[in-house]
Structure 1
Amino acid sequence: MIYLILMLMSLFTPKGYAEISPVYPMRNHQSDLTRQFEYRLGEDHLIYLRSLDRENAKTFAGGDLKADPKALEWHLFDEVGYPYKKSFFKDKCSLLNEGEYISEIAVASEQLIAVSNTNKVFMYKPTVLERPITWSDELGSPFSNELYLPAKRRSWSFSCSVRDKDIRRVDFIDPSERVIYYSDMNGVKFDFGYTATIYVLLEDGQRIVYWDTGLPPSFSRGFLSPLNGTTQGQSISAAGSTIFISALDSTNKLRFFTRMYDYEINGACPGLTYTYQVKPNLDSNSETVALGFGERKLPLEGWREHAVTNIPEGHLSSQVSIHLTGQGNAARELRIQGTDVANRRGYYFKRIDDLNWQFQPDERLDVMTQAPFPYNPQAQEMGKNYSGQVIKAKTPEFQIELHSFHPFLTAEEPCILSVNYKGETANLNLHCVDGWTLVSHTKYHEDLIGVQEGEPKYLQATLVLTPEQLNTSQNSLIHKLIQENFLPYHEQVNSIQLVADNGNVYLSTTDGELKLYFSRSLSSSELDDSFYLKRARAVVQLEAPQNKEEVLKLIHKNKEILNELTEIQDQYRRDELRFLMEDLCVVLARPMASVIFNFEKDDPTYKKAVEDLKKPLKNQLRTEWNNLKKDNPTFQMSKDMLEARILELEELYDGYPND
């Protein structure tokens, strides 16, 4: 009888998984959950689903929830368990190529991300109005394309924040997982629009890149790990635009941080209005402010550390998981996999604003490695210092430097404009945010953005002076210079434009009255760690071959890398030409769009977005033109290195006697 029951259960259980009740408590890329469902990726690389509502069991069918009493058992997601599209011959034709299969999944508010063994991203997005829906294998806006997760990554996660609106469906989402608003630093509740975001912790552990459905399809936007990139992340989990990270510091201490961050709230989103002014008397209990209205206070909170002092040392892993518990910034539960003092397996948990952690035993959880990625003491320091020169200013005789700058800085980590005038110095805070552009390289964009061998990063910035620097009664020379040259831009949101990489930064104000240029020389370790040289040296420096067969294999390997790097460089050139044409078309079409959106009275977002994009698009047009004209020294060095090694190996091969 027991055997019969087990056999029947196996019919509804994904291959490789036993029936699990209650749900698996830690989110990962083989298992994920929402309030309504538990999702699993089976060993057969198919996606399975089971309902968690015993009173009203449902499943998904073409994007809609469908009542099904059998849905409490494991069954294939949307009947097939893989990404599909409609075709003339078949209703559900697989989007996977030959030899391609699903290797990871992630779920947020019943929207499903599937990643294949080629790192390609597929999305099941029931928020669209049409029914029945199919999966998408081309993503992004305004121009969609294939999206690939960075191949060299430590961790990634998926999050969604969404507000009810006529243009989208949310009826399939449990009310507790419709994250409809956030509170800014003035305590005002602002509606979300729709922000479904993938966050990726890169190989160095110091950078987190992200993409959301309203952005061009690449991972060219990002921010640094806690403490300005000095910590090295181990694992991330995200929910409701909140990222939970475990990270090692320079003393090898495992620490835990959270941060609320996405493209709608970070100060960069065209069409939204931001402010750096503190307004403490606003009613935090008022109704939410609709998208496109009101002024959102910047900077955001930034990284917040969560102390683990009440947990015995050595009982925590780096595996983290974050879960929605309702509305508001504080409606998140944090979980860390570990063991208690009795060495029972389980996880520690707390609400995000609580101080103390509690332990929940769960013997299904493995004993995880505390830090799977050891701290790298040779890692590059993220913040760089640049020397500068004044191109244009009302008082151009001052000296200036840029300190602690990185192209992935956000409003929460200001860099410093260090101004020196006749022996007096002042440090001015410059808060940078992303600059929206159309640029989206399909692969390697995360490594070739904001660096000389790739392309510069476009940023916007706001200058925020201190009360002392604003004090007009000061009679010092440096204060007079600040009043004349920098005061006009104080708290003028995104009135400063930057085009920046790791060697050069061009800064100009929107009115064109202040222009600065900064530069620095790359260190030898930075060159060694650069994209092209690092890949070339990895094969050039392989151990010397011991026989003719090994020489031949090494020749093929060097040629393979040379061809790969050449194709990447050539593809970037082709992309730059395409972006130049796209930018030109959008710049020409923008005035017409501005006229059209003048008639939209209920939602000012679109009209303002068109105006906000005027300066970024023109800047990007110039940047793309300059990119097409510039040389790439590190690519040429890599090419020369590989060609010399191939020639050396071919001569060695010719020296062996014929068989």
Structure 2
Amino acid sequence: MLDEKESLRPYPIDPIQDRVVRKILRIKEKGPVSRTIGFFSNISQRVTYPISEYIKEKSKGKTFEKKEASEIIFPLVCTPIDAIDSKFFYAIRDGKIWFKPIAAHQDSRWRLLGKNGYANKKKTPLISVSADGNNIIVVDQNRVIHYAKTNRIICKVSFIRPQWGIIQLRISWREKWFGMEGVSLIVNLFKDPVLHMPPNARSIAVSHKGPDTMYYTDMNGKKHPDPYVGVTSIYTLNDDGTRIFFADPWLHNQFQNELTGPEDGQFKAETLAASGSTVMLFQRARNEFGQEINKIYTRFGDFDSIGANPALRATYNKNNKIPMLRYIPSEDWIRQPSIILDGRARLTRNIAVLQIGWGQNNRQLRVQGQDINGRNGYYFKNIYDMIWTFEITNNVLIEEEEFLSNSIPHIGFEQGPQIIENYTNGILKSRTKNKLLEITLENFSRRGLNERGLHTRLVLTLENGFQLSLPLYARRGWKSLIGISGDNIWKLIIPNEYYDEEDEQIREILHQIFKNKRRHPVNVYERANEIRITNVFSNFNKFEFTFSNKLH
């Protein structure tokens, strides 16, 4: 019987990798970087303490705007105007942002975040909020995204009384998104550094992979700690729910980065949530009998882990055991178990991902809805577990419009347009003879989305009928970091198992065409009438695969 605990985990467990994490932690605690940070932090506290005390003294007697607990029901899932992280609840009301600690008494009041609840001096009304880790974003009515850190907000709470206080509240909103050290000052002079929410986006979510998540594990079982520098991402779901774009503060190309969606890019999500670089997609529908059904996908993926960052070393070699050298491709989309809806059970579109510990296996998924008896609450489970559990929240009211309408067509899950094609008319141009009957390019998209999700591959059929299936992956080039070019760096991979085959034709093809190399940098040229794949840095052993625009 399949163990429900982490049975969906896609990577192997290697206990040796824990030594790497422990070593990094020791360096973090006692190393020169830690001592330097501690030194300057101590100076900063000595300077800022009298200032904060002066501000407190000046603030005595002032009345701060508050809202009663009954005016804003604390969120347990995310909506466009409600957010939750590991420390605070957030809510957008009256065009302002309010917050209170999760640990505070349930009857405690809400307070404005910052000086007046706005993100700029113009007091532009806010329409959306998202938070994760030490990051928070708000979107104003002009679709401008404002970004801030929350790790300098310190509160004192009482478990038995509804009063809570603010010990320190230092939050600095910024609109200029691109922040690569030493480059942003120059690049921002020529390109607009302000980040805008894409028009008609279905969802937007900020993600922070940092000290609270500590590391992630690649698909080869290697752990990659992030004790100092985390990864911040903002994910958006486009207007028809089929495309996922993301922005990173070190990327000037803003939302021009894309994660391929599930089901060969045709999955049509209603909503998106994210936390610690884990993305969650959710879709509801009705089957032919009118019963409500649902699909849920998750994927761990950011600019670094998918291998798109050219500044970080990565390898396609599964046999490579060098610590901290990332193995790619990264985690694929995981189809999560559907939530079984019996009796009066039904779901809203409101979902959440919460980081609850180190590693991407410590994520909790939540979906708001009603149970078999029609009681309000949310379904939850660990990301790699199989079983959903229902938590009752009777104090949370759910409007009827949040549930799936009975009037939608009973046609099952709607899909988006097809974005991949198969080309079965390939021609090999090579200086060596070969014994190939057919050459096929499978699951190729002219969007260039081949970092993982499309499973693009070159398939070579030999005279004896054996098929060599060679994955074709793409990474972003260094120019994409500053928005100069979106061109990809391509690599054709020869799986290791083919070199264990004793068949003469296989051995001959691997030697004559690929010179027994397992990984080949290639150029992919896309023209109106053809697609051409040719290897890089080779004169004598040049190979070139050409496919006309006739599709099959």
Length-normalised TM-score, structure 1: 0.59
Instruction: Give the counterpart of 2:126 among 85, 102, 112.
Output: 102
Matches within 5 A, 1:21-40: 23-40=74-91
Aligned to 1:4: none
Q: 1:508 to 1:147 in 2, by over 3 A?
A: farther
Aligned to 1:567: none
SS at match of 2:390: strand
Alpha-carbon contact 1:232-1:249 (below 8 Å) kept: no
CA shift at 1:134, angstroms? Answer: 3.4
Aligned to 1:158: 206
Matches within 5 A, 1:110-125: 110-125=134-149
SS at match of 2:205: strand
Aligned to 2:381: 350
Alpha-carbon contact 1:208-1:224 (below 8 Å) kept: yes
Determine whether 1:240 maps to 2:271. Answer: no
Corresponding letter in the other structure for 2:491: A
CA distance in 1 between counterparts of 2:67 and 2:431 reads 70
CA distance in 1 between counterparts of 2:247 and 2:413 reads 27
Q: 1:186 to 1:481 in 2, by over 3 A?
A: closer
Instruction: Give the counterpart of 1:137 among 148, 167, 175.
Output: 175
Corresponding letter in the other structure for 2:456: C
Instruction: Give the counterpart of 1:334 among 361, 365, 390.
Output: 365
Q: 1:138 to 1:471 in 2, by over 3 A?
A: same
Aligned to 1:486: 514
Aligned to 1:295: 325
CA shift at 1:415, angstroms? Answer: 1.0
CA distance in 2 between counterparts of 1:160 and 1:441 reads 21
Aligned to 1:380: 417
CA shift at 1:336, angstroms? Answer: 0.9
Aligned to 1:618: none
Instruction: Give the counterpart of 1:426 among 457, 460, 467.
Output: 467
Aligned to 1:197: 233
Matches within 5 A, 1:12-91: 12-13=66-67, 18-20=70-72, 23-43=74-94, 45-54=95-104, 73-84=109-120
CA distance in 1 between counterparts of 2:528 and 2:387 reads 41
Aligned to 2:13: none
Aligned to 1:638: none
SS at match of 1:483: helix
Aligned to 2:534: 508
CA shift at 1:203, angstroms? Answer: 2.4
CA shift at 1:456, angstroms? Answer: 7.3
Corresponding letter in the other structure for 2:328: L
Show CA shifts across 1:373-408 (max 9, x none): 977868421221235444666558966432111222
Q: 1:441 to 1:162 in 2, by over 3 A?
A: closer
Aligned to 2:306: 266
Q: 1:184 to 1:120 in 2, by over 3 A?
A: same
Q: 1:352 to 1:362 in 2, by over 3 A?
A: same
Determine whether 1:415 maps to 2:460. Answer: no
CA distance in 1 between counterparts of 2:197 and 2:442 reads 32
Corresponding letter in the other structure for 1:514: F
Q: 1:179 to 1:504 in 2, by over 3 A?
A: farther
Aligned to 1:308: 338
Q: 1:36 to 1:501 in 2, by over 3 A?
A: farther
Alpha-carbon contact 2:252-2:482 (below 8 Å) kept: no
Instruction: Give the counterpart of 2:213 among 157, 168, 179.
Output: 179
SS at match of 1:40: strand
Q: 1:346 to 1:123 in 2, by over 3 A?
A: same
Aligned to 1:229: 265
Aligned to 1:569: none
Q: 1:191 to 1:46 in 2, by over 3 A?
A: same
Aligned to 2:354: 323
For structure 1, list consecutive stretches of 5 or more residues without a partner in the other structure. Answer: 1-8, 56-70, 85-92, 164-177, 283-288, 446-454, 524-659
Q: Which has the higher helix share?
A: 1
Corresponding letter in the other structure for 2:250: G
CA shift at 1:242, angstroms? Answer: 0.8
Show CA shifts across 1:461-502 (max 9, x none): 3413362x32463222x652233223544246xx23435589
Aligned to 1:547: none
CA distance in 2 between counterparts of 1:393 and 1:370 reads 61
Alpha-carbon contact 1:393-1:515 (below 8 Å) kept: no
Instruction: Give the counterpart of 2:504 among 443, 462, 475.
Output: 475
CA shift at 1:440, angstroms? Answer: 8.8
SS at match of 2:209: strand
Q: 1:490 to 1:440 in 2, by over 3 A?
A: closer
SS at match of 1:158: strand
Q: 1:187 to 1:475 in 2, by over 3 A?
A: closer
CA distance in 1 between counterparts of 2:455 and 2:381 reads 31
Q: Which stretch of the first structure deviates more once superposed, 354-363 or 248-257?
A: 248-257
The structure showing larger relative contact order (alpha-carbon pairs under 8 Å, at least 6 residues apart) is 2
CA distance in 2 between counterparts of 1:441 and 1:248 reads 38
Instruction: Give the counterpart of 2:494 among 448, 461, 464.
Output: 464
SS at match of 2:510: helix
Q: Which has the higher strand share?
A: 2
Alpha-carbon contact 2:261-2:453 (below 8 Å) kept: no
Q: How many residues were matched structurally?
A: 443
Aligned to 1:361: 392
Alpha-carbon contact 1:197-1:210 (below 8 Å) kept: yes
Aligned to 1:520: 549
Alpha-carbon contact 1:401-1:418 (below 8 Å) kept: yes
SS at match of 2:264: coil
CA shift at 1:322, angstroms? Answer: 1.0
Corresponding letter in the other structure for 1:435: R
CA distance in 2 between counterparts of 1:80 and 1:202 reads 32
Alpha-carbon contact 2:271-2:283 (below 8 Å) kept: yes
SS at match of 2:269: strand
SS at match of 1:228: helix
CA shift at 1:339, angstroms? Answer: 0.9
SS at match of 1:360: strand
CA distance in 2 between counterparts of 1:431 and 1:113 reads 36
Q: 1:148 to 1:33 in 2, by over 3 A?
A: same
CA shift at 1:347, angstroms? Answer: 0.9
CA shift at 1:80, angstroms? Answer: 2.3
CA distance in 1 between counterparts of 2:527 and 2:241 reads 20
SS at match of 1:470: helix
Corresponding letter in the other structure for 2:380: F
Alpha-carbon contact 1:102-1:116 (below 8 Å) kept: yes
CA distance in 1 between counterparts of 2:114 and 2:355 reads 24
Aligned to 1:498: 524
Alpha-carbon contact 1:317-1:370 (below 8 Å) kept: yes
Matches within 5 A, 1:393-412: 394-395=432-433, 400-406=439-445, 407-411=448-452
SS at match of 2:508: helix
Show CA shifts across 1:277-330 (max 9, x none): 4459x8xxxxxx9xxx53223333311222136542762334321111111222
